[in-house]
Amino acid sequence: MEQLLAIWIEPLAQEQPDGSTLRDTLALLDALGALCPFTEVARLGLWVLPLRGPSRFFGGSDAVLRAVRQSVLDVVGVEPLLGVAEGLFCAELAARRALIVPLGASDAFRRAQPLSVLGRKDLTITCQRLGLHTLGAFADLERARVAERFNKHALALHRVARGELSEMEGQRDVRLARRLAQLRGEEDLVEEQRGFFGQRGAGDDRAEAAAHRVRRRLGADAIVVASLRGGRAPEDRATLVPWGSPSVSARDLAPWPGQLTAPSPATTLAHPVPLQLRDAADRPVVMGGRGTLSAEPTAVIFSSPLRREIVWYAGPWPLVERWWSRHSRRAHLQMVLASGEALLVVAESSRWWLVGIYD
Amino acid sequence: MTTSGYSYERMFAFSPPRPSLSPELLATLRPVSLAKSRTLPLGEPWRALVPGAGLRRGSTVVVEAPVGLGGLSLALSLVSEASTQGHWAAVVGVDDPGVVAMAELGVDLRRVLFVPRPRGAWAESASDLLDGVDLLLVRAPSRAAHGAARRLMDRVRERGTVLIALSEPRTPWPLPADLFFRVTQAEWVASSRLDARYLTVRVSGRGEAAQGGEHVVVVPNRRGRAEAR
């Protein structure tokens, strides 16, 4: 998980009827966006930005914290609470306590939190009766035991407690970005997906009504729409956002030299699956620093003891993008297995990941 | 008959000619369900391989392929032409849709709704979406229950949607389909990269499609599209 700097500004968390909250939020977003372009407003009162890139630029995380604190004071005139931790969930907790959790200590930090931070009173009380007081104790429960006792929301919280999910449901306000865009005048108030020539047909209205029904049944994030943006690898080019959230800017037609060419995998894994590549002598195949393989891969082993022979492969095609960030370098490999499947595999941070299946 | 010469023909002999109607007006006066509007268009290569060159509204299409051997690409290639022509589609139960591949196949992403993880409510979400879309692509999580499939197919028939069900040989769709695509073989052609996949597909079904046939199609080709060999 990426180390995040969370900024908590209590006075901006409650929306004022005069609209000043949104205006201040927007002004602060612009100011912080000048420090780090990846700054986002998770919800009113909570800002978040990745720490690693800016801290290289400003010369250390202390310098970033100082710059952020100063720009909040300049724009809003309030002293913010700053916190650093990995993942949005921990980062917000750290911010509310004004803590800097060192890299790698977020797990311990999360496990030491009281259960009340999950914001579910029934869960907290039941667990306290069972003698579980911290997130760590709750996380150690078996998933099946939690499922027996609580509903699916508690299961999601259990995954948060285990660190499998980096943020809680409801930590982000999905509608906020759209409201800010409207305030900026970038987006019409009636912005919707449009039919041909900008018209809306009866079909569009019917589809919208159907989407509403699914959303009522399964929750806000269950129904998503897709769009394309610029990028080189298929996993970068796809954007899936919950239906009803602001549409991402129109299709990016800029050339992307080094883009992986068509055909693209019909299944692109949102969460890549780790796997191992082995050579003929059953040694692990590793990516060298110069984008070469240590040996020809002949077999692929998935996390379960599932081994498949590789009959053909192509690549690696190295990509060095955003070298200042966590995604320092990647290399893609296409392969066809003896059983007939074709896979897209990527080497990243000295491991192999399955990112696409040409299904 | 009398000799007065009265005949019924005379009733019409002097009636003024009827004004001709404009073609637009005529179009609105025709019966609502034209054969053409009852099918959704199919693109290459299916236009030549499927009877009627389209997907009949209210019908169920089953695409059966072993996991990873092109079933999803094939199903999406059935959707693409209708999507290009402005029909809405929904994709239920496909966990991680390859959005780029869909765009390459010609699916218009502005008119596709995804429910990637229906969490046990796949049949319910599918029937929620039925009223809103023209094509519904469903991958049931495991073996679809007979009753759920039956209800879904009945509603599809009633609403005039086209249901495309993705299944595997291990967990077949429990009911017979109007149109059935079975991938029997998938073979990749590769140069310095993956170039094209030749799918051997058995097309069968009811009515005109009953005789069936085995065809080799290219899904996807070098540009990510579907084409005939």
Complex ipTM value: 0.79
Q: Are residues A65 and A134 in the same domain?
A: no
Q: What average pLDDT does this structure show over A249-264? A: 72
Q: Are residues A56 and A16 in the same domain?
A: yes
Q: Are residues A286 and A237 in the same domain?
A: no
pLDDT tens, position by position, A6-36: 999 988 888 887 778 888 888 898 888 888 8
CB contact under 8 A, B101 and A336: no
Which of these three, A198, A226, A253, is where a domain ends? A253
Residue A150 forms contact with B (CB below 8 Å): no
Q: Are residues A17 and A98 in the same domain?
A: yes
Q: Are residues A57 and A100 in the same domain?
A: yes
Q: What average pLDDT does this structure show over B9-30? A: 62
Q: Would you say residue B70 lies in a domain?
A: yes
> Domain holding A100: CATH number?
3.30.70.270
- pLDDT for the residue A65: 92
Q: Would you place residue A193 in the very low, low, confident or very high pLDDT band (cuts 50, 70, 90)?
A: very low
CA distance B126 to B128: 5
Q: Would you say residue B110 lies in a domain?
A: yes
Q: B117 or B141: which carries more pLDDT confidence?
A: B117
Residue A269 forms contact with B (CB below 8 Å): yes
CB-CB contact of A279 with A285 (8 Å): yes
CB contact under 8 A, A267 and B94: yes
- pLDDT for the residue B12: 60
Q: Are residues A12 and A64 in the same domain?
A: yes
- pLDDT for the residue B14: 60
- pLDDT for the residue A250: 53
User: What is the extent of the structural domain holding B48?
Assistant: 40-183
A77 pLDDT higher than 60: yes
CB contact under 8 A, B104 and A264: yes
Alpha-carbon Rg for chain B, nearest whole angstrom, is 23
Query: What's the mean pLDDT when you consider all of chain A?
Result: 83
Q: Are residues A97 and A124 in the same domain?
A: no
Q: Are residues A274 and A243 in the same domain?
A: no
CB contact under 8 A, A203 and B98: no
Of A207, A217, A356, the CB nearest to B121: A217
Q: Would you place residue A165 in the very low, low, confident or very high pLDDT band (cuts 50, 70, 90)?
A: confident
Q: Would you say residue B27 lies in a domain?
A: no
Which of these three, A62, A79, A107, is where a domain ends? A107
CA distance A38 to A54: 10
User: What is the extent of the structural domain holding A221?
Assistant: 212-253
Q: Are residues A154 and A75 in the same domain?
A: no
Q: Would you say residue A46 lies in a domain?
A: yes
CB under 8 Å to A56, separation ≥6 — which residues? A324
CB-CB contact of A236 with A315 (8 Å): no
Q: What average pLDDT does this structure show over A161-185? A: 81
- pLDDT for the residue A70: 92
Interface test with A, best of B84, B128, B227 (most A CBs within 10 A): B128
Q: Would you say residue A198 lies in a domain?
A: no
Q: Would you say residue B142 lies in a domain?
A: yes
- pLDDT for the residue B11: 61
Q: Would you say residue A348 lies in a domain?
A: yes
Q: Are residues A101 and A24 in the same domain?
A: yes
Give pTM, 2 decimals.
Answer: 0.63
Q: Would you say residue A188 lies in a domain?
A: no
- pLDDT for the residue B16: 58
Question: Which of A95-109, A168-182, B141-155 has the least mean pLDDT?
Answer: A168-182
A303 pLDDT higher than 50: yes
Domain count, chain B: 1
Domain count, chain A: 4
User: A306 in helix, strand or coil?
Assistant: strand
Partners of residue A353 on adjacent β-strands: A274, A346
Q: Are residues A78 and A136 in the same domain?
A: no
Q: Are residues A343 and A278 in the same domain?
A: yes
Q: Would you say residue B149 lies in a domain?
A: yes
